[in-house]
């Protein structure tokens, strides 16, 4: 029997990273501060996870200025979207298999 | 390796985050009920005002004729309709901001912004189309036009709102189309669509989400 965890995405296994990607799939774009509020986390923690997702090219970072203040927005990439879908499918598969 | 319980929790948490991040969940059901009550009061007022014009041969089932016979009535009806609209919006904003405060949320966020943009496009389009029809004296078009465009606006805004809003949108469009085939009963359809439907869906939302 093949390992059911083989399709698991190592990056998305962490709950907060999975949540960030989920939020970006559900919305066109999201900014750092709103994301921080929603996830009720600290600047440092969120920044670390975002960096990991950015490195993996799961999210797209858009830097701009609003009223001369830097404003960073995040968007999901196609790569991130398909990784999210695959990871959810893998999770579903495991739950289904164990119910049998 | 994660346990099944952990995976189930992960799924639940990502689902709730996706919903929380994209939906405005502070819309007050009570404000829907009140908007319906205002609309019914406005319709009743409009009805008695039309009756008081004492246009000969006036009967229900031809209510647009009366405007042709009594032109002043047009502006009075427009004022009533706009009054109901403004008071309903104000009630919605006040009650929703209170609900948001109770939930520890803010009234203005990315979802609210998107809701407003999605509402304004069909509403403004509908408003302009209706005005063009009033200018040419097609008063029969006013009630079905209001209902259909309002329904479209609700459907456009519904991805960021409770699912009941989408059903309300469908209901308004169907009612508006039926109303289009029965010119002369515009006021009754208007009262049903903006009064009774709002009270009905407002009550469902009130029971489901306000408490």
Domain boundary assignment for chain B: 29-210
- Residue A7 CA to residue A86 CA, distance in Å, equals 7
- Domain CATH for A47: 1.10.10.10
Give SS3 for B18: helix
Q: Is A88 on the interface with B (CB under 8 A)?
A: yes
The per-residue pLDDT for B127 is 96
Q: Is A91 on the interface with B (CB under 8 A)?
A: yes
- pLDDT, mean of residues A46-70: 91
Q: Domain for residue A1, yes or no?
A: no
User: Which residue on chain B is closest to A26 by alpha carbon?
Assistant: B18
Token reading at B147: 């209902």
A1 has pLDDT over 60:
no
User: Which residue on chain B is closest to A18 by alpha carbon?
Assistant: B14
The per-residue pLDDT for A82 is 94
What would the pLDDT profile of B16-55 be if each residue is shown by its tens digit? 889 888 888 889 999 999 999 999 999 999 998 888 877 6
A2 has pLDDT over 60:
no
Q: Domain for residue A3, yes or no?
A: no
B4 or B129, which is more confident: B129
Q: Domain for residue A34, yes or no?
A: yes
The per-residue pLDDT for A94 is 83
Furthest-apart CA atoms within chain A: distance in Å: 58
The per-residue pLDDT for B58 is 63
Domain count of the fold of chain A = 1
Closest-CA distance, B92 to chain A, in angstroms, reads 24
The interface predicted TM-score of the complex, written ipTM, equals 0.82
- pLDDT, mean of residues B59-67: 72
Residue A99: in which H helix or E strand, if any? Answer: helix A78-99
The per-residue pLDDT for A23 is 93
Q: How far is CA B90 from CA B41, B94, B96, in A?
A: 17, 6, 10
Q: Is A13 on the interface with B (CB under 8 A)?
A: yes
Domain residues for the domain of A78 are 8-99
A79 has pLDDT over 60:
yes
The per-residue pLDDT for A78 is 95
To the nearest 10°, report the CA torsion of B198, B203, B204, B206.
120
Contact B93, B86 (CB under 8 A): no
* Number of neighbouring beta carbons within 10 Å of residue B134: 15
Contact B11, A88 (CB under 8 A): yes
What would the pLDDT profile of B103-160 be if each residue is shown by its tens digit? 877 788 778 888 999 999 999 999 999 999 999 888 889 999 999 999 999 999 999 9
The per-residue pLDDT for B57 is 63
The per-residue pLDDT for B71 is 78
- Residue B22 CA to residue A35 CA, distance in Å, equals 12
What would the pLDDT profile of A18-51 be if each residue is shown by its tens digit? 999 999 999 888 889 889 988 999 999 999 999 9
Token reading at A73: 């927005």
Cross-chain residue pair B4–A94, CB shorter than 8 Å:
yes
Contact B25, B173 (CB under 8 A): no
| Confidence at B1, pLDDT banded by 50, 70, 90 | low
Furthest-apart CA atoms within chain B: distance in Å: 84
In the block, tokens 């001369």 appear at A68
B196 has pLDDT over 80:
yes
Cross-chain residue pair A39–B18, CB shorter than 8 Å:
no
The per-residue pLDDT for B56 is 67
- Residue B203 CA to residue B41 CA, distance in Å, equals 18
């Amino acid at each position: 029997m093949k390992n059911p965890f083989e399709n698991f995405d190592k990056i998305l296994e962490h709950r907060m990273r999975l949540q960030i990607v989920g939020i970006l799939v559900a919305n066109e774009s999201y900014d750092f501060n709103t994301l921080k509020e929603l996830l009720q986390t600290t600047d440092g923690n969120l920044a670390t996870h975002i960096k990991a997702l950015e490195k993996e090219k799961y999210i797209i970072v858009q830097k701009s200025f609003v009223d001369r203040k830097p404003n960073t927005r995040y968007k999901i990439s196609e790569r991130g979207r398909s990784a999210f879908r695959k990871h959810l499918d893998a999770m579903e598969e495991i739950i289904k298999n164990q119910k049998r | 390796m994660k346990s099944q319980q952990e995976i189930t929790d992960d799924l639940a948490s990502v689902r709730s985050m996706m919903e929380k991040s994209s939906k405005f969940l502070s819309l007050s059901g009570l404000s829907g009920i009140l908007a319906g009550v205002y609309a019914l009061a406005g319709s009743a007022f409009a009805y008695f005002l039309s009756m008081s014009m004492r246009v000969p041969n006036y009967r229900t089932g031809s209510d647009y004729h009366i405007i042709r016979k009594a032109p002043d009535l047009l502006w009075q009806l427009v004022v009533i309709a706009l009054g109901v609209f403004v008071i309903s919006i104000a009630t919605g904003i006040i009650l929703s901001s209170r609900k948001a405060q109770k939930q520890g949320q803010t009234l203005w966020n990315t979802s609210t912004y998107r809701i407003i943009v999605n509402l304004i496009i069909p509403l403004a389009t509908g408003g302009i189309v209706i005005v063009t029809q009033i200018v040419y004296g097609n008063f029969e078009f006013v009630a079905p036009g209001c209902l259909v465009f309002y329904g479209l606006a609700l459907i456009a805004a519904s991805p960021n709102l409770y699912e009941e809003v989408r059903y309300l949108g469908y209901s308004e469009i169907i009612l508006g189309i039926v109303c289009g085939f029965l010119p002369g009963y515009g006021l009754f359809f208007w009262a049903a669509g903006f009064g009774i439907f709002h009270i009905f869906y407002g009550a469902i939302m009130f029971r489901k989400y306000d408490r």
